[in-house]
């Protein structure tokens, strides 16, 4: 089959994007039921923070290894297996009777989730020519934010209607069905291999890893992504809904609307910031600007002792989401700073920085809340001191983007 001229490539695109949409929604969906988990399992805020972090920890730790494995064995096996693992993990989560089972379920989900992005990129590169790929990878990136958006008001209403257990059970079954769909669209129908093996290139991979870990530019990109991703994904995925309910007396659906506002900001910001960067033919200038804006936003929560006026709260959530859209500039800088043969590993390294901060923030935030006993008298102080964490993370991001160099290679050398 001539993949790049086949009309079937659009079926491939639709099925892979749909899988990414549903899998991405499960990164933050558990944050909607934080209070219910604390009540049902009688656990502390620190435990909930660790539970929110574990999926991101697994995802983060597998990014570079997954890139190497997908290159060697092909993306079909890993994407299909990942969909099933995410589904089984989500079903297990819904049936959990003990907090240990909750952790095991999120670990399974994290392993499955770790397969999606690198597999998706390679699949699209195989089925679409370079011009189509450059457009569709942007659509794929926005799909992740749409997945987060799905896990706000729509999923919150689903939880209120069916209960959290039935809601997660339904999504888990859907993900397993998606795994079957992917098998037929990626393997069975186009008569493609399920698992292929290429010659290992261990020496080359080790050399690239050594070069990455000794590169100032790679570490600057790591810090950029660390500073801009963790505050947004880490807070949105764990404490944003409880924050709205505790500090502003919102219902769960109303609090989830805060997340939706932030996600709308991200959906608008990502393509707009990319367009501005392209028009200016600069990456560092807009990236510095948005890193500083995000730092100021998180600092504003401290200025108002954790409870800014409601109208300002809306502006802050939207602006943080909008600024998060600039994280795509990390990978634009990777593409322009490193040869193509190294860009995959460097992208994985930078992405590791972003999701490492997403792992750390929920746990640290939960620990701070526990220090103030999570009572109505002290909860305001707990959130106030909790917001110090995203402020510190943002400072690391600002340092990283300042260290970023713009003396890129010519496009012909990449």
Which of 219-233, 342-356, 366-380 is predicted least confidently? Answer: 366-380
Last residue of a domain, one of 144, 170, 200: 200
Say yes or no to pLDDT of 45 above 90: no
Give φ, ψ of 258 to 5 degrees: -60, -40
Which of 198-212, 213-227, 270-284 is predicted least confidently? Answer: 198-212
pLDDT-based confidence at residue 203 (cuts at 50, 70, 90): very low
Last residue of a domain, one of 168, 200, 232: 200
CB-based contact 357:234 (threshold 8 Å): yes
- Tokens for 302? 């401290």
Which of 122-136, 165-179, 244-258, 386-400 is predicted least confidently? Answer: 122-136
Same-domain pairing of 149 and 246: no
Same-domain pairing of 167 and 218: no
Same-domain pairing of 218 and 109: no
pLDDT-based confidence at residue 104 (cuts at 50, 70, 90): very high
Last residue of a domain, one of 155, 181, 200: 200
Higher pLDDT, 30 or 105: 105
Same-domain pairing of 371 and 229: yes
For residue 252, the enclosing domain spans 204-414
Same-domain pairing of 414 and 275: yes
Q: Which residues contact 49 (CB under 8 A, 6 or more apart)?
A: 238, 239, 362, 363, 364, 365, 366, 367, 369
CB-based contact 241:252 (threshold 8 Å): yes
Statement: the pTM of the whole predicted model exceeds 0.75 = no
- Give me the pLDDT at residue 412, please: 36
User: Residue 186 has what DSSP assignment?
Assistant: I
- Give me the pLDDT at residue 182, please: 94
The rounded distance, in Å, linking the Cα atoms of 180 and 177 is 5
Same-domain pairing of 318 and 350: yes
pLDDT-based confidence at residue 201 (cuts at 50, 70, 90): low
- Residues 358-397 have pLDDT tens digits of 888 888 888 888 887 655 566 778 889 999 999 999 999 9
pLDDT-based confidence at residue 344 (cuts at 50, 70, 90): low
* CATH code of the domain in which 133 resides: 1.20.1250.20
SS3 110: helix
Same-domain pairing of 87 and 169: yes
Average pLDDT of the residues in 299-324: 93
Nearest to 26 by CA among 83, 119, 111, 109: 109
Same-domain pairing of 249 and 157: no
- Give me the pLDDT at residue 407, please: 58
CB-based contact 264:149 (threshold 8 Å): yes
Same-domain pairing of 181 and 252: no
Which of 20-29, 214-223, 306-315 is predicted least confidently? Answer: 20-29
Same-domain pairing of 23 and 160: yes
Considering the chain, what percentage of its residues have pLDDT values greater than 70? 89
H helices of 75-129, in order, are: 75-95, 99-113, 116-127
User: Residue 281 has what DSSP assignment?
Assistant: T
Same-domain pairing of 95 and 164: yes
- Tokens for 197? 């093996």
CB-based contact 237:362 (threshold 8 Å): yes
How many structural domains does the chain have?
Answer: 2
Instruction: Look over the chain and give the mean of its residue pLDDT values, rounded to a whole number.
Output: 83
- Give me the pLDDT at residue 290, please: 94
Same-domain pairing of 57 and 140: yes
- Give me the pLDDT at residue 408, please: 47
- Residues 253-285 have pLDDT tens digits of 788 788 888 888 888 887 788 778 777 878 889
Nearest to 29 by CA among 150, 166, 174: 150
SS3 407: coil
Radius of gyration of the chain (CA): 21
Average pLDDT of the residues in 181-202: 75
- Give me the pLDDT at residue 320, please: 94
H helices of 184-283, in order, are: 202-213, 216-229, 235-236, 240-248, 252-280
Residue the block writes with tokens 């659009």 = 10
- Residues 108-122 have pLDDT tens digits of 999 999 888 878 877
């Amino acid at each position: 089959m001539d993949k790049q001229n086949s009309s079937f490539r659009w079926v491939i695109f639709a099925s892979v994007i749909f899988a990414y949409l549903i899998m991405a929604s499960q990164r933050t969906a558990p944050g909607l039921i934080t209070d219910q988990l604390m009540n049902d399992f009688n656990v502390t805020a620190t435990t909930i923070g660790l539970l929110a972090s574990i999926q991101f920890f697994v995802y983060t730790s597998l990014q570079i290894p997954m890139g190497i494995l997908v290159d060697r064995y092909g993306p079909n096996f890993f994407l299909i297996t990942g969909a099933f693992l995410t589904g089984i993990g989500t079903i297990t989560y819904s049936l959990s009777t003990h907090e240990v089972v909750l952790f095991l379920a999120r670990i399974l989900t994290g392993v499955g989730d770790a397969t999606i992005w690198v597999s998706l990129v390679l699949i699209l590169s195989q089925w679409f020519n370079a011009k189509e790929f450059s457009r569709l990878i942007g659509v794929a990136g926005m799909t992740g934010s749409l997945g987060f958006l799905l896990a706000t008001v729509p999923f919150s209403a689903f939880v209120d209607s069916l209960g959290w257990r039935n809601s997660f059970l339904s999504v888990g079954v859907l993900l397993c069905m998606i795994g079957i769909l992917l098998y037929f669209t990626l393997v069975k129908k186009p008569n493609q291999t399920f698992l292929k093996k290429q010659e290992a290139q261990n020496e080359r991979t080790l050399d690239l890893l050594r070069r990455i870990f000794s590169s100032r530019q790679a570490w600057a990109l790591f810090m950029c992504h660390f500073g801009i991703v963790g505050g947004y994904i880490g807070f949105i995925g764990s404490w944003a809904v409880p924050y709205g309910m505790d500090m502003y007396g919102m219902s769960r659906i109303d609090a989830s609307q805060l997340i939706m506002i932030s996600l709308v900001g991200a959906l608008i910001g990502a393509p707009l910031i990319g367009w501005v960067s392209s028009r200016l033919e600069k990456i560092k200038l807009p990236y510095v600007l948005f890193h500083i804006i995000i730092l100021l936003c998180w600092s504003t929560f401290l200025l108002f002792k954790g409870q800014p006026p409601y109208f300002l709260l809306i502006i802050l959530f939207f602006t943080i989401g909008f600024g998060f859209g600039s994280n795509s500039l990390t990978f634009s800088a990777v593409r322009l700073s490193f040869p193509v043969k190294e860009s995959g590993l460097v992208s994985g390294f930078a992405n590791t920085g972003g999701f490492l901060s997403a792992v750390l923030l929920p746990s640290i935030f939960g620990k701070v809340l526990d220090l103030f006993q999570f009572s109505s008298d002290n909860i305001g102080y707990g959130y106030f001191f909790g917001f110090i964490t995203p402020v510190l993370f943002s400072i690391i991001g600002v340092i990283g983007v300042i260290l970023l160099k713009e003396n890129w290679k010519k496009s012909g050398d990449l």
